[in-house]
Amino acid sequence: MRRRLYFLLRDTAQAKRVVNELLLARVEAGHIHVLAKQGTPLEDLPEAGLLQKSDFVHGVEQGLALGGLTGAIVGVVLIAVAPSGLDLNGVAVLTMALAGALMGGWASGMIATDVPNSRLKRFKAAIEQGEVLMMVDIPKTRVQEVTALIRSHHPEAGMHGTEPTIPAFP
């Protein structure tokens, strides 16, 4: 399991130095994400992607749950009102729940791509003032090491928490 560390840095120059130090500490470039005010040139910094900027993962999770529940309810109603001669059983409920979960996850995920990541709301003001948000996904065994590395070289870099778990795919 990975943990996501959040750091606020004063500008892109400082962000470049931190990224270089993280790469030297063997943090993979694909696990470093930088988010800055719109229009800020990030040049060769690893820009945050759709999964970091949007509420896609949260939206899919909600869509799967609500779609599955809705599908299960529809399946139960189908069994209750099934015309005589039509033999519906638990498989119908399971099938409808699965179909509902897939549809709900897909639709909710598509909508959520346009919604800003709710976990980044607390950083919005700082980003709008020109600071740079760096998100680093690291194994939980390296949290102290990486935090100490950044704090030792950049004491002015604000450590703004650790997210408990990161899904395997981002």
User: Hey, what are 6's tokens?
Assistant: 């959040």
Look at domain 2-50+119-166 and name its CATH class.
alpha beta
* Distance from C-alpha of 152 to C-alpha of 115, rounded to nearest angstrom: 36
Q: What is the pLDDT of residue 165?
A: 61
pLDDT reading at 170 higher than 50: no
**Would you list the domain boundaries of the chain?**
2-50+119-166, 56-112
pTM: 0.75
Kindly report, residue by residue over 149-158, the tens digit of the pLDDT.
Answer: 888 888 777 7
Do 21 and 36 form a contact (C-beta atoms < 8 A)? no
Q: What is the pLDDT of residue 164?
A: 66
